[in-house]
Structure 1
C-alpha cells in the first residue's frame, strides 16, 4: 500500500507551518522570549511544551504576548508546575478557557497542565511570546513548540 499524503504534508494542511521549537533554557525568576513574530499577525494553530529538565521546586510559569506596540496580555494564567514534581518528557498543555459559573461567569484563563490540550487559535502580532517564571529558586526547563500560519502576508514566527 502506498502513502499518498506524507505526515509532514498532512500536518501542514491541518496546522500550518512548523512545528517551531524553542528551548526555555534553565528556569530562573525572569521573563524570556520563546517566540518572536515579525511582519504582522500570525495565527498559532497549536502551542505546547515538553519538559526537558525536571521541575521540582515550587514556582509559577505563565505565557504572555508582548507586542511591539499595544498591550501585553496573558496567554495563560500563572500555574505552579513544580510543587508536585514534573518529570522530564512530560507534555505541558493547557486547560481550556471557560466561563466559570462560580465567579458569575468570569472568564477563566488557560492554565498550564501536565498533558492537557495544545493551545489553539491564538493571534499574536509583531513582538514576542514570552515565558514568565517566578519563585525563589525555580528549576527545570521546557522546550516550547508552535505550529502557525501567517495572517498578514510576509508575517513570520521564529524561535526566540
Structure 2
C-alpha cells in the first residue's frame, strides 16, 4: 500500500506553517497589523494577499512593513499602486527587501521566495495603505518556518 503526501503536507514541507488573516478592510493612510510574531525568530517564506472587495479611493498605494518589538520599522517592499484592483487580484512579497509589492490581476504568482526568506524577530507584519479615503478588503496569508523553539505567528 502506498502512502500519498497530501497537499497540506507538501506545502508545510516546502514553505512551513501557514497562517491566514481573514479578509480585512484596508487601512486609511495608516498601518494595520496583519500578523504577530512571538516567542523567537522565524524565517518568513511567503506573504501574499487576495482582494475580496474592490479597492477604491484616491490613488491608494500599499506596502508591507515589519515592525519589530524593539528596533526600527522596515519596509518589506516599496509602496505600489493598488487603485481599483478587482476581486481576486493577488499581492505577494518580493524576494528582495525594498522591491515593489508584486501585484497581479487575478492571476496566481509564485509565492515562495526562491529558496530565500526573511528572518524576523518578535513583532508584527503590517500593511500600510496611503489614501485617506481607501476602501476595499484583502485576505492575507503568511508562511513561515520557526527558527527558535517556541517561535510562532498568529493573525493580528
Q: Report the TM range for the smaller structure's normalisation.
A: 0.7 to 0.9
Instruction: Note if contact 1:59-1:135 (Cα within 8 Å) is conserved in structure 2.
Output: yes
Q: Give RMSD over aligned pairs.
A: 2.1
How far the C-alpha of 1:47 sits from its partner, in A, is 1.1
Please give the residue correspondences for 1:3-42 in structure 2 after superposition, counting only pairs within 5 Å.
Answer: 4-18=4-18, 20-23=19-22, 25-27=24-26, 28-42=28-42
Runs of 5+ unmatched residues, structure 2? none
Runs of 5+ unmatched residues, structure 1? 98-106
How far the C-alpha of 1:15 sits from its partner, in A, is 1.0
Match for residue 118 of structure 1 among 106, 111, 121:
111
TM-score, structure 1 normalization: 0.83
Instruction: Note if contact 1:94-1:117 (Cα within 8 Å) is conserved in structure 2.
Output: no
Supply the distance in 2 between the matched residues of 1:48 and 1:31 (Cα, whole angstroms): 17
Q: Which residue number in structure 1 is paired with residue 128 of structure 2?
A: 132
Match for residue 147 of structure 2 among 124, 131, 151:
151
Q: Which residue number in structure 1 is paired with residue 74 of structure 2?
A: 73
Instruction: Note if contact 2:23-2:52 (Cα within 8 Å) is conserved in structure 1.
Output: no
Supply the distance in 2 between the matched residues of 1:8 and 1:155 (Cα, whole angstroms): 20
Alignment partner of 2:25: what SS? coil
Alignment partner of 1:13: what SS? helix
Query: What CA deviation, in whole Å up to 9, does each residue of 1:49-75 have, x standing for no partner?
Result: 000110133111111100001221000
Shifted more, 29-38 versus 1-10: the winner is 1-10
Structure 2 CA distance for partners of 1:13 and 1:119, relative to 1, 3 Å: closer
Q: How many residues align?
A: 148
How far the C-alpha of 1:95 sits from its partner, in A, is 4.6
Instruction: Note if contact 2:49-2:91 (Cα within 8 Å) is conserved in structure 1.
Output: yes
Alignment partner of 1:25: what SS? strand
- Shift >3 Å, 4+ stretches: 94-97
Supply the distance in 2 between the matched residues of 1:92 and 1:132 (Cα, whole angstroms): 13
TM-score, structure 2 normalization: 0.85
Largest Rg, 1 or 2:
1
